[in-house]
Amino acid sequence: MEDRKHFFYLNLGHFLDHFFLLIFATAAALVLIQDWQMPYGQLILYSTAGFIAFGLFSLPSGWLADRWSREGMICIFFIGIGLASIGASSAQSPLGIAFWLFILGTFASIYHPVGLALIAKGGPKMGTDIAVNGVWGNMGVGFAAFVTGLMIDHVGWRAAFWLPGLISIGIGLFYFRDYRENILVKLKSDNVLVTPVASFTGDNDRQLRHLMIRVSLIIFFTTAVSAIIFQSTTFALPKVFVERLGTVSDSASAIGFMALFVFAVASFAQLVVGQMLDRVGPKKVYLAVSLMQLIFFTMFVDQFGWMALLVATLFMLGAFGQIPINDYMIGKMAKSEFRASIYGVRFVISFAVWAVVVPLISLVHQDYGFNILFYILAACALAIFIAASMLPKTFPTLVPV
């Protein structure tokens, strides 16, 4: 992106978006099951409303950004999610926190369709920019587990909500100061309008249309399946580590730090993926990361101790590595004036699946344990591998109009 300061704000937004969404996952696994006297499988169901809102409102968020101001929506995101997190810190019961997580999910839904529309503007380094932004989001996932564990040990779980909430509000005020002209006036698109054209010689319009339909169906299918993988691994990993790494350490801070370590190491896979997308295109990259997930999800079954930590790091490399691929393909094909809306559709699919995954984790954990969950994730990786094999070798490119 040309405006590196704006890119930094957008990266902070991605960090905070994932950070806020996963505070409760760690708090539930490490302390709320004792404080509120509820089994883990039952307690995590109260986060479902937040994930429903996260998916449901992605589409109107993208639509409003395309018709009003993308910068204005990002400002609302920073301030709104901060206020909702402060509200969550005051919850006295599972129903109370479910209400505030719904409000938090509503504001959190803004970031992905709007932030990615601001980042994915084409150019030779678009894959790298999307990947860098993705690393910030995944670091938010990791720091949610670490900071929440740290707060539980030294201050209390409520501080893990209200302190980041105040920080987010402050960032939102600075963002308004720096971009108030774009926020206070109707959005005027400064992006180059683009239209997809085939890079193959001899392709006619009908062949191109069929190609675009096939690629779009693959994008939306793999979006749904990869959402199962991402949500299952990021949400459940603190609890998985409690069960599988108990011989290594049983303190909240240590479990949170190990989750941070895995997320941090794995997140940098996106940088490699982003560069490879710019060089070789999405098909080969998708095949490689889905195969990696298939292998290591299967290996994780019945692993404990240090070996579980190693294998978890390896399957998270694949889980995080796949994230930029669909965003890259949408960025290559979507016209500028519709880009936020199209990303909104993508994230409605993705995060609607997220809302289903939490009950799935609850059911599987209560009745079967985590081994079955990782067999399910391996099957998802296999489905992505098969779908990715149907992508064209040469991807449609975009040209200015």
Q: Using an 8 Å Cβ cutoff, are 59 and 352 in contact?
A: no
Residue-wise pLDDT for 92-124, tens only, equals 898 999 999 999 999 999 998 888 878 866 555
pLDDT at 335: 58
What residues contact residue 220 under an 8 Å CB cut-off, 6+ apart?
346, 349
Residue-wise pLDDT for 326-347, tens only, equals 777 776 665 555 566 677 777 7
| Angle at the Cα of 320 from the Cα atoms of 16 and 363, rounded to 5 degrees | 85
- H/E element holding 194? strand 194-197
Q: How many CA atoms lie within 13 A of 240 on its CB side?
A: 27
* pLDDT above 70 for 18: yes
pTM for this prediction: 0.69
Residue 73's alpha-carbon distances to 19, 120, 144, 331, in angstroms, are 19, 17, 24, 20
Q: Work out how many domains the chain is built from and give that number.
A: 1
Question: Quick one: average pLDDT of 375-384?
Answer: 91
Question: Quick one: average pLDDT of 280-303?
Answer: 85
Instruction: Return the CATH number at 92.
Output: 1.20.1250.20
- At 269, the pLDDT band (50, 70, 90 cuts) reads confident
Q: Which residues are bridge partners to 353 per DSSP?
A: none
Domain that holds residue 217: 4-400
Residue 223's alpha-carbon distances to 208, 216, 283, in angstroms, are 22, 10, 15
16-30, 74-88, 347-361, 370-384: which has the minimum mean pLDDT? 347-361
Residue where the block lists tokens 């096939």: 214
